[in-house]
Amino acid sequence: GDTAVTASGRHRPITWIGQRDLGSAERPMPRDQAPVRVRAGAFGHARPARDLLLSPGHPVLVGADADNTGGVLVPVMCLINGTSIARTEQASVTYWHVELDAHDILLAEGLPAESFLDFGCRPFFEGASDFALHNP
């Protein structure tokens, strides 16, 4: 099966990929679910390498060393500073989540971020695994 390279450089099997589309003409996106934009370099050189949109509750790893060990996971909405990390104004967004065979840290544009953990919230996502795995 397909694997993902984690922040530590390990290859882990992907067990699930899900997507969630928010915002439409009939059902506007709730303000509290609007994405958070993390500007390129907000956490240091190339962290992230490009601007990155994350769901507000998505944890990122802060305070880790150069090998992405140590540190703590913090929901990105708790790091909003209004400049390099800020809520966006947009009509719609698609959030993607990747679950591995074990909890780990992935790199999103070079920024260490938590892999998906299923605490019973999969029904909120469309089963997009087949599409995503076959259309990289």
Q: What percent of the chain has pLDDT over 70?
A: 91
Tally of domains within the chain: 1
Q: What percent of the chain has pLDDT over 90?
A: 65
CATH of the domain at 24: 2.170.16
Mean confidence (pLDDT) of the chain:
89
Domain hosting residue 8, numbered range: 3-134
- Residue 112 CB-density burial (10 A; 0-12 exposed, 13-18 middle, 19+ buried): buried
Polymer length in residues for the chain? 136
90 φ, ψ (degrees, to nearest 5): -150, 155
Place of tokens 């967004």: 93
pLDDT tens track for 64-110: 888 888 899 999 999 999 999 999 999 999 999 999 999 999 999 99
What is the model's pTM? 0.85
pLDDT tens track for 33-76: 999 999 999 999 999 999 999 999 999 999 988 888 889 999 99
